[in-house]
Every structure is written in C-alpha cells, then in structure tokens.
A and B are shown apart, each in its own frame.
Chain A
Amino acid sequence: MQKRSSLSIQKDVIFAIFVREMTSRFSQYTFGNAWIILEPVLMITLFILLFGARGRGEFGYAEPAVFIFSAFLTFKLLWQQTMKKNMGALSGARSILGFRQVSLFDVFLARTVIEGGLCVVAGVVIALGLMWFGFSPAPTNPLPVFFYGLVLLIFASGFGILACIVASFAKEIEKLISLLTMPILFTSAVFFPMTVVPEPYRTWLAWNPLVHAMELIRENWLSSYTSPVSDVQYFLSWTIGVLALALMSYRLSWKRMVAS
C-alpha cells in the first residue's frame, strides 16, 4: 500500500462515506435510490398542496406555491435534515469507526455535504416541476440565496455536531430536540413572512437566528419582499459562535465518544 497524506486519506474517506450513505440509506426500499430524490420532492409537494392550495402563504409577495417552496426547501432540508443527520452521526456510523482511517468528524463532514447536495438537487427538480405548471420559482438573486443557504447549512451542521456531543453525555437531548422540532417550525417564520407578525412579538421572534436565515433567503428569493427584521450580522455571529463551540467541544470529547 502507498503512504498517503492526511488530506488525501480524509478525501478518500469522505467520498467513501458519501457513496456508502447514498447506497445504504434506501437500499431496503422497493424503489431503492430513487427515494433519495423522491423523499424531499414528495415532502415539498405535499406542503405546497397543503398550504399553497388553501391560499396560505398568499401575502402579496409571491404565488403561494413559490413562497412555500422557497421556505420549506430551506427549512426542512438545510436546517432540519442536516441538523438531525449530524446529531445521529455517532450512532449511525458506529460500525465504520472500526476503521482507523475514519474519524467521527469525517462522518459529520460527509453527512453535511450530502444534505447540502440533496437540497440543491431536490430544489432544482421541484423548481423544474413548478415551471412546468407555469410558476416562476427561480430566486431573484441566486448568489445571495446560495450564500445564506450555505451559512444556514454550516449553522445546522454546527448545531447538529453540538447536539451529538451533548447527546453522548445525556441521551435525553435527542428527545428534547425532537420535541422542539414543531415549536421551532412555528416560530421560525417558515410559512409566514415576518411582516405579518405585529410588534412586540416581531422583536421577540427576531431573537431566533433561524428567523434571520429564513428572512434573508426569502428577501433574496422573492423580488418584492423586504424583511423588516433580517440582520446578516446577527445570523453570521450565531453561526460562527455555534460552529466554534461545536468544534471546541468536539476537540475535547471525540476520544471519549469513539471509545465504545
């Protein structure tokens, strides 16, 4: 065998985990890997039908379907899935930690990359579908949307890593976070824009960093929407803070976590 640099080992490992997650996630299903795309597409379509068809999300800024699409794609895939996948990384990848090349951090990285990629692919597929039906789902300012999406992905990943580490002390945190999923969905400006929230609740909700992520993306996605609360600096500070905390706690506790 050849001697490889640490970087090339890590690259190989992340690619291997990527392929492994892709092939094993849905291997016992009848339609197999088609579910990789089908799952998010079905979910978003369902939300569009549930909310959009009833006229919810009609706030004068965009057609309901596009409004729901932009919000749920971001929230469900970039935030919720990424966070959950990172949180479950230790238990899900316990067996491959039996190879010395694989570190827990590679699993976090690979899962984050997968969720980010899935979001883009699912987004494109659904957007094409919406175009077919005569909507115009494309973001007005694609570059800022990608940028804030990336920051949200990093935020979610950092939060998930942190949750994974805390869960290795107290398993209860996983239950707590699952319980909080719904309240977070309702308070993160997902299916309503912040303009419909009156003061003082608007200021209260604006403490939630996810509100800023959603609003920043919405502002740049829908041409006529301007958010009353969005604050780039606030959201970036949260992301950097969470990521720093996650990396520091990882550095302190990874040895204890991988010891079985």
Chain B
Amino acid sequence: MIAFNNVTKYYPTRFGPRYVFKSLSFALPDDRDIAILGLNGAGKSTLLRLIGGIDFPSSGKVKANRFISWPLALSSGLQSTMTGRENVRFVCRIHGLSRSKSIEDYVQDFSELGQMFDLPLVNYSSGMRSKYSFAVSMAIDFDTYLIDEIMSVGDASFAKKCKEALQSKRETSNIVMVSHNVSTIRDHCNAVLVLSHGNAEFYESIERGIYRYENL
C-alpha cells in the first residue's frame, strides 16, 4: 500500500510558495497498475518523485511498505561519464545486490547494446539511452515500478519488448506510470489517477479516467 496522508507540497519561488498539492490524502491499491494523468504542471512527476522517496512533502506523510523503484525518467541517476556496466554496478551496490554479474548480463542483453555497454553513456543516442535505463530498472525486482514518460522513446521492436517485459512484471509487481500517450496507458494500466486543481481523482475504469482527462 502506498498512502499519502495530508500531503502538502510547495516549491519556494520568487513570488512566494507555489503549491503543487494541498492536504492531499489517498491510497494506491497494490494490485492495480495505475496511470497518472493530468495537464502539464499538475504535479505528475512531483507525485512520482514523492512516491519514489527522492523528494519529500512540505508537510504530511507518504507511507509505503513496498520495494519501490526509482522514478524512471530519461536521465535519472545515471552518470554519463561512466560506462553502462559501471552504472549497473553502482545501482546494484546501492540496492545491496553484491552479485551483479547476472544483472549486467541481463541489461546488456535486454538493452541490445552489445559492445556499447562498455562505453560511457555520453556515446549513447537518446534511443539507446532510454533502452538502457529501462533495462536497468527491469533487471531489479521491485514491488512497484515508477515510470515517467520513458516508453515514448525507442523503436517499434523495442516498444514490443518493453511491453512484454512489463506484462511479465505485472504478474508479481505493479506499475505507476506517467504518460501523455493514451494508447500506452490502455496497454499497461487498469486504473487511472487524474490530477486536477491540486486534487487526485481515482478511476477504476481507465476509459472514464481518460474521458475525464480529455475534458479537463
């Protein structure tokens, strides 16, 4: 269970605090794959960062009793002067996985990088990079995967591969996904959280959620 308890989040700006959420409370069920929808600036990525534990509420509490992945965005957490392999090793180390060989092999295989895997990330194209970061997170078993707009990059065959990987993950884990692409959401999710005007509305039917989002 991931629960928000009276969460208020604001960012200080020159014009005073800019509120993203004011006393927001909700709970995300463990057995649903949730898409987060909302207009630009509605706080989708902030919400993901709060769930992922890399940003913190100004007041209130975020509670979770699951292993949650880092919010998987295009450039998250990876050092571009280090090679793909070194980055994987770093991720394994901070997750306490001392045997990283099998994970390295998995990432190399899944990301289809071949020899490029042993080159620094600066040499990767944006498509390779998104494949790579997607593969890194898939290599580690989390209870919840946080995915931030990463599926939109990459070619058709890789999109298919991602879809299959996510499908198999969905048997044991769930995903929380931010995407503007309605068809991606129809493919991967079965519940929708719509963020509007600082509120969160939970829809068990994705069609109703998407309808609400399209008429915001």
Report A's interface with B, CB cutoff 8 A. 1-2, 4, 8-9, 12-13, 15-16, 19-20, 23-24, 27-28, 95-102, 255-256, 258-260
Contacts and interface: CB of A to CB of B under 8 A. Distances in A.
Contacts of B68: 100
A13 B94 contact: yes
17 contacts: A16-B93, A19-B89, A20-B86, A20-B90, A24-B81, A24-B86, A27-B82, A27-B120, A95-B75, A95-B76, A95-B77, A95-B78, A96-B77, A96-B79, A98-B77, A99-B54, A99-B94
B147 to A, nearest CB: 14
Contacts of B67: 1
Binding site secondary structure of chain A: helix
Nearest to B72: A98
Contact of A23 (B11, B55, B82): B82
Contacts of B11: 259
Contacts of A255: 56
B47 to A, nearest CB: 14
A16 B94 contact: yes
A98 B70 contact: yes
Given A99-B94, A260-B55, 16 more contacts: A8-B96, A12-B96, A13-B93, A19-B89, A20-B82, A27-B81, A27-B120, A96-B77, A96-B90, A98-B54, A98-B76, A99-B54, A100-B54, A100-B68, A255-B56, A259-B56
Contact of B52 (A12, A23, A100): A100
A24 B96 contact: no
A12 to B, nearest CB: 5
A258 B140 contact: no
B82 A258 contact: no
B70 A16 contact: no
Contacts of B12: 256
B71 to A, nearest CB: 7
Contacts of B76: 95, 98
B53 A100 contact: yes
A63 B62 CA distance: 62
B13 to A, nearest CB: 12
A255 B86 CA distance: 29
A208 to B, nearest CB: 36
B207 interface: no
Nearest to A16: B93
Nearest to A254: B56
B79 A20 contact: yes
Nearest to B75: A95
Nearest to A15: B93
Given A98-B71, A100-B68, A255-B56, A24 B94 contact: no
Given A98-B54, A100-B53, A258-B55, A28 B81 contact: yes
Interface in B68-112: 68, 70-71, 75-79, 81-82, 86, 89-91, 93-97
Given A99-B70, A99-B77, A259-B56, A1 B82 contact: no
A20 B85 CA distance: 12
Closest 6 CB pairs of A and B: A100-B53, A16-B93, A98-B77, A98-B76, A16-B94, A101-B94
B54 A19 contact: no
B158 interface: no
B141 interface: yes
Contacts of B86: 20, 23-24
Contact of B90 (A1, A9, A19, A256): A19
User: Which of B55, B120, B141 has most chain A Cβ within 10 Å?
Assistant: B55
Nearest to A98: B77
